[in-house]
Chain A
């Protein structure tokens, strides 16, 4: 296949996702459809496989990392296929162009897009297969197909009595052609969508039988651990390889691109040997800065460069010049780790002319590129087997852990599993970027006349493009990989969609203010970054919704009334805001010693309003209750929506209360859950979630719970103490800082 310049890095709207990178070549299709005599299996399309023994397999192209695709997407196809979701066996998808996420043109699970992008295609696939089965049955019975119906894996005769199970029809159905228009079921006939309860993977995950990446076991498998430079960008100068080689169980010690790998027969032998490993690093290109430098540099950059104007309604400068008052505030937010409970790991097996990889990954097609880079193979020779993911949150969109396993496998030529320790996972993460926000508002006659938001910090695409660009052109020669990455970046905003990861949630400021200006000062300290559950929305949400609270206070208005007056023109925002206020009893005072804060924020197409009730007791912040109203359009599984929103709230509170990665002379200071704590059971607030009934297209729920809870808590603490905290994480005693 040749590259067509016009198609190269083609534009695709960034819509609601935070992963805006999208190129638009139709990849080479690899999925064989049709009927296979040998095993009596019919594949009507890339997703479904029905067998003569009445089994239904569904290829799940969006990975299951806790967010519920395993259940949600299966429900979509089940609804139209007329098979109970529990009777369908989901299988994780291999890499194939059919399974690409249409928003990114990559096989990615991220950006809270799985339900939204699968909503039509999966239901259509289910409906078409159902129609073919009906046509086949009609032919057997010699009746009009339009009088036959499908139900629970059977086709029913027009007489209402006779039935044929799908298994008996698969071979016939495979040669049917649907010539009539296939209609999707009207909402009134849905049996599973909006009604389904429970999760299809709950059994496996409650008995220890669900297989995660770390659980892969292969014949003759060995283990490897990798020592990476404490300072990002350092290179190996020398190491005591022969000492290590002599240690019990050690099979090989080798330098790879990312550090020094020790391969041993058992995991613990590799770990013990690692303790004796001494590496001298060449720090010439290594990161050397500390957290204070990051923010000092951000402030300097913000002073020196007003940044690119990303939104400009009216004329803020003019409004400010004529205003009674101009209020200003700046907000600082730290680097954050993902801390998936399953640490990074991957298993690879190089067989000379092919390689197989098993990994918990959010982007298997990028994983192939990562493995191709470090071996003599091309992506087509590499198979990626995706497992259950023990958490993702954006971390597993980057394939560094697959690259390591592939590099070691290429050298040892036996199956090898690389497992990261928690310390390694924390210190060698790619972080949610630290960001600075400078806010200004002009106020006259008690009204806000202008809003100015300057976002200061890096863009994620700069880091992500390395494997993402080649993954869209898997047939391109490897020496072009880095060029593709560079071209991808040069074309950004011209030939490719803009990376809005830094400004998402800032440019879409929803309130009715006449003069709105949003700018981005692009500056990158060189600390590795990537997507993180709600990324840009997470930091922009804190800045925007805290500053809104400051403005309410400055203009002497109730924080709800203040927002309500400025959002009256946005019905879906208004509805969730009104609901959360009603649910929380906002208008009545909080119980004594406690205070409440509110925030309203849209992300990934979903509208969320939250009220947080908090107190300070024994020098600690106590979050008592969180009320949340959410509008995510049509709901496929109400229970999973609730779980995701609740999980997002806990994720956000964890960041607000505990989350901070700091650097000292280029080294990450945190290592494990004692110094990078996650919210624990005893800190859990009561969480009350209300979902708006809606017929709108479904939108994401994995991430939108996160952003508003951080400012809502900060706003509650302000109401409690009268002190405004403009830096995260929040502290119990702001003034003592």
Chain B
């Protein structure tokens, strides 16, 4: 079926089965590979994107639920070529190891800071506990989010 959605600010119309998880549409139909597949069951958070501003597990969201809505992926987090403060903090803190979980971590953190710009450690831990990291980068993730929460403002996000 044909459906349309707005992805990172751009309207896209697609011919795709409505029960296809949003994840595979983003990755394979729209070619945005930054959103990752980890478990397909809402358990790891690697596939986290924002749907109308809410974080969702795109592996468990059928694309027809996203029809007519606005999706932001890791690729849409930077604005006008300027990295999101969280992305800058990730580089500054050297957070990623294998890096595979990090798009999802950043998307979860971006939602948190948008709604709670001065998030404290407990808020960060709670908001990110749905995102697994097999490499064990948790303490750097927390430190990077804390550095943004305590200092720079988070005022830009597409969704």
A: residues with CB less than 8 A from B are 64-68, 197-199, 201-212, 214-215, 217, 248, 266-269, 339-343, 388-393, 419, 421-422, 639-640, 643-644, 646-651, 672-674, 678-682, 684, 687
Q: In the complex, what residues of B have CB within 8 A of residue A210's CB? A: 99
Partner of A681, one of B27, B95, B135, B141: B141
- Docked Cα-Cα span, A681 to B132, in Å, equals 8
Residues in B with CB closer than 8 Å to A391 are 98, 100, 134-135
A300–B67 Cα distance when bound, in Å, is: 61
Q: Report the bound CA distance from A248 to B140 in whole Å.
A: 45
In this complex, the interface size class of chain B, counting residues with CB under 8 Å from chain A, is 35 or more
**How far does the Cβ of B140 sit from chain A's closest Cβ, in whole Å?**
7
- Besides A421-B40, A639-B94, A673-B41, 20 other A-B contacts (C-beta < 8 A): A67-B97, A199-B96, A206-B83, A206-B102, A207-B77, A208-B33, A208-B75, A212-B100, A340-B98, A341-B98, A341-B135, A342-B38, A422-B39, A422-B41, A643-B137, A650-B138, A679-B136, A681-B141, A682-B125, A687-B139
State A26–B37 Cα separation when bound (angstroms).
40
Q: How far is the CA of A647 from the CA of B98 in the complex (A)?
A: 11
Task: Give the interface SS of chain A, mostly helix, strand, loop or mixed.
Answer: loop
Cβ of B148 < 8 Å from any Cβ of A? Answer: no
Residues of A within 8 A of B134 (CB): 339-341, 391, 393, 651, 678
**B98-135 toward A: CB 8 Å interface, digit per residue (1/0)?**
11111100100000000000000000011011111111
- Check A208–B103 contact: CB distance below 8 A: yes
Number of A-B pairs whose CB atoms are under 8 Å?
170
Q: Is B152 an interface residue (CB 8 A)?
A: no
Interface residue from A217, A341, A419 paired with B100 (Cβ < 8 Å): A341
Q: Is the CB–CB distance between B28 and A266 below 8 Å?
A: yes
Cα A644 to Cα B135 in complex, Å, equals: 8
The residue of chain A having its C-beta at the shortest distance from the C-beta of B73 within the complex is: A208
- Using a CB–CB cutoff of 8 Å, the interface residues on chain B facing chain A are 17, 19-21, 24, 27-28, 31-41, 43-44, 46, 73-75, 77-78, 83, 87, 90-92, 94-103, 106, 125-126, 128-142
A202 and B41 contacting across the interface, CB-CB below 8 Å: no
List B contacts of A204 (CB < 8 A). Answer: 99
- Across the interface, do B43 and A672 meet the contact criterion of CB distance under 8 Å? yes
Nearest B residue to A65 via CB reads B98
Complex CA distance for A74 and B151, rounded to whole angstroms:
33
- Chain B residues contacting A419 (CB-CB under 8 Å) are 37
Pairs across A and B, CB under 8 Å, 5 listed: A66-B96, A67-B97, A674-B41, A681-B125, A681-B131
CA distance A390 to B36 in the complex (A): 10
Shortest 9 CB-CB contacts between residues of A and residues of B? A208-B34, A205-B99, A650-B136, A66-B98, A390-B100, A66-B97, A208-B74, A205-B96, A647-B136
* Minimum C-beta distance from A646 to chain B (A): 6
Instruction: Write out the residue numbers on chain A whose beta carbons fall within 8 Å of the beta carbon of B77.
Output: 207
Q: Measured between C-beta atoms, what is the minimum distance from B154 to chain A in Å?
A: 15
Shortest A236–chain B CB gap in Å is 25
Knowing A201-B96, A390-B98, say if A341 contacts B74 (CB, 8 Å). no
A321 CB, nearest partner CB in chain B, Å: 47
List residues of chain B with CB within 8 A of the CB of A66: 96-99, 135
Nearest-neighbour CB distance to chain A for B127, whole angstroms, equals: 9
State in angstroms the CA–CA spacing of A230 and B128 once bound together: 34
Closest to B32 in A: A208
Task: Find chain A residues with CB under 8 A from B78 CB.
Answer: 207
For the complex formed, measure the closest distance between the CB of B83 and the CB atoms of chain A, giving whole angstroms.
7
Give the docked Cα–Cα distance between A251 and B91 (Å): 43
Is A341 in contact with B95, judged by CB distance below 8 angstroms?
A: no
Partner of B135, one of A203, A421, A647: A647
Q: Once the chains bind, are A206 and B106 in contact (CB under 8 Å)?
A: yes
Kindly provide the distance from the CB of B131 to the nearest chain A CB, expressed in whole angstroms.
7
In the complex, what distance in Å separates the CA atom of A109 from the CA atom of B125? 33
CA separation between A662 and B140, bound complex, in Å?
A: 33
* CB proximity of B109 to chain A, nearest CB, Å: 11
Q: Give CA–CA (A197, B77) in the complex, Å.
A: 25
Interface centre among A393, A422, A672, A681 (most CB of B within 10 A): A681
User: In the assembled complex, which residues on chain A have CB atoms less than 8 Å from the CB atom of B19?
Assistant: 268
- Tell whether, in the assembled complex, residue A682 and residue B43 are in contact, meaning their CB atoms are under 8 Å apart: no
User: How many whole Å from B157's CB to the nearest CB in chain A?
Assistant: 15
User: What's the least CB distance linking B42 to chain A, in Å?
Assistant: 10
Contacts of A678 in B (CB 8 A): 132, 134
The answer to whether B98 and A342 touch across the interface, beta carbons within 8 angstroms, is yes
Cα distance A552–B131 in the bound complex, in angstroms: 40
Does the CB pair B38–A343 fall under 8 Å? yes
**A217 CA to B33 CA, complexed, in Å:** 9
Q: Are A643 and B39 in contact (CB under 8 A)?
A: no
Q: Which residues of A contact B92 (CB under 8 A)?
A: 198
Give the distance to chain A from B114, nearest Cβ to Cβ, in Å: 18
A208 to B101, CA, bound (A): 10
CB distance from A502 to the nearest CB of B (A): 25
Complex Cα–Cα for A204 and B74 (A): 11
With A206-B95, A206-B106, A341-B44 already in contact, the answer to whether A215 and B33 are too (CB < 8 A) is yes
In the complex, chain A residues whose CB is within 8 Å of the CB of B40: 421-422, 672
With contacts A208-B33, A214-B37 taken as known, whether A646 is within 8 angstroms of B125 at the C-beta atoms is: no
Tell me, in angstroms, the Cα distance from A392 to B98 when the chains sit together: 9
Distance to closest chain A CB from B58 (angstroms): 12
Distance in Å: Cβ of B28 to nearest Cβ of chain A: 6
In angstroms, Cα B22 to Cα A103, docked, is 45
Known: A207-B78, A647-B136. A342 touches B102 (CB 8 A): no
Chain A residues whose C-beta falls within 8 Å of the C-beta of B135 in the assembled complex: 66, 341, 391, 647
Contact partners of B20 in chain A: CB under 8 A = 266, 268
Q: Of B41, B83, B139, which one neighbours A684 at CB under 8 angstroms?
A: B139
Query: What residue in chain B is nearest A340 (Cβ atoms)?
Result: B134
A647 to B38, CA, bound (A): 19
Whether the pair B90, A206 counts as a contact (CB closer than 8 A) is: yes
Please, which residues of chain B bring their CB within 8 A of the CB of A206? 83, 87, 90-91, 95-96, 99, 102, 106
Residue in chain A with minimal CB distance to B141: A681
The interface residues of chain B lying within 8 Å CB-to-CB of A392 are 98
Q: How far is the CA of A197 from the CA of B140 in the complex (A)?
A: 14
CB proximity of A727 to chain B, nearest CB, Å: 24
Residue of A nearest to B99 (CB): A205
Q: Would A682 and B126 be within 8 Å (CB), given that A214-B36, A217-B33 are in contact?
A: yes
Contacts of B99 in A (CB 8 A): 66, 201, 204-206, 210, 388, 390
- The reply to whether B140 and A643 contact each other, CB–CB distance below 8 Å, is yes
Which residue from chain A places its CB closest to the CB of B91 in the assembled complex?
A202
Most buried by A among B27, B34, B44, B136: B136
Q: How far, in whole Å, are A267 and B126 apart by their CA atoms in the complex?
A: 33
On chain A, the residues within 8 Å of B140 by CB distance are 643
Out of B21, B90, B132, B142, which one reaches A341, CB within 8 Å?
A: B132
How far, in angstroms, from A410 to B73 measured CA to CA in the complex?
Answer: 35
Q: Which residues of A contact B21 (CB under 8 A)?
A: 268
CB-based contact A649/B136 at 8 Å:
yes
Which residue from chain A places its CB closest to the CB of B97 in the assembled complex?
A: A66
Q: How far is the CA of A210 from the CA of B34 in the complex (A)?
A: 8
CB distance from A486 to the nearest CB of B (A): 35
Distance, CA A495 to CA B145, complexed state (A) = 54
- Considering the chains assembled together, what is the distance between the CA atoms of A179 and B136 in angstroms? 48
For residue A627, give the distance in angstroms from its CB to the closest CB of chain B.
14
Contact residues in B for A207 (Cβ distance below 8 Å): 34, 74-75, 77-78, 83, 87
Q: Are A202 and B136 also in contact (CB < 8 A) when A208-B35, A419-B37, A682-B129 are?
A: no
Residue on B with the closest CB to A389?
B98
Q: Which residues of B contact A198 (CB under 8 A)?
A: 91-92, 94
A201 vs B92: C-alpha distance when bound (angstroms): 12
Bound form: Cα–Cα A703–B39 in Å = 25
Q: Which of A205, A209, A267, A673 contacts B24 (CB under 8 A)? A: A267
Which residues does chain A contribute within 8 Å of B129, judged by CB atoms? 680-682
Q: Which residue of B lies closest to A645 (CB)?
A: B136
